[in-house]
Amino acid sequence: MASEIKVDTIVNAGGDNDTGIDLATNDQILLKVANATKLTMNSTGQTTIVGEGGTTTTSVQQGLVKAWCKFNGEAGSIANDDSFNVSGLTDNGTGDYTVAINNDMANDDYATTCNGSEQVFSIYNAANTHAGTVRVYSQHQDSSTDAQEASVQITGDLA
């Protein structure tokens, strides 16, 4: 038979109630340190955590990069140097790449930041950006060029 513990609050060993987990609200969990709430998780899984400086909160779901990669885009040797939530790269031609997102975004309205060595990067166009891929284009002085080093960050809502 499984054991069960029923409590409203878990506090530190000193019993001063300024550190612990507050379960009394029944629809969210509050993690408190020094009698101040540092993390809140509601019944839908929405989680906020106190940010740097302690005066603002950050939504874990909304406030983090959902996918990123750093890759070598030179012709014939495109390679993903490191990544998070990226399942692959495609070389579509000179300075034209598709980054495949492993766990898709909720829609194609996410934000993407791109940069690279000695190139100016821009999103290829919205028509070629989908929930599961983003297309990036590399150019230098108004000419398409393969990127020696490129980085892409994607923020928004995961599916």
pLDDT in tens, 83-100: 999 999 999 999 889 999
In a domain, 19, yes or no: yes
pLDDT band with cut points at 50, 70 and 90 for residue 125: very low
Same domain, 54 and 82: no
What is the separation of C-alpha 5 from the centre of its chain, rounded to a whole number of angstroms?
Answer: 35
| Residues 53 and 126 both lie in one domain | no
Domain membership of residue 4 (yes or no) is: no
**Secondary structure (3-state) at 52:** coil
Could you tell me if 60 and 70 are in contact, meaning their C-beta atoms sit under 8 angstroms apart? no
Do residues 104 and 30 both lie within one domain?
A: no
Pairwise CA distance, residues 5 & 146, whole Å: 60
The neighbour count for residue 96, using CB atoms within 10 Å, is 18
Please compute the mean of the pLDDT values over residues 51-55 and round it to a whole number: 75
Domain count, the chain: 2
Please tell me which of 59-68, 84-93, 146-155 the model is most confident about, judged by mean pLDDT: 84-93
Give first-to-last CA distance, the chain, whole Å.
38
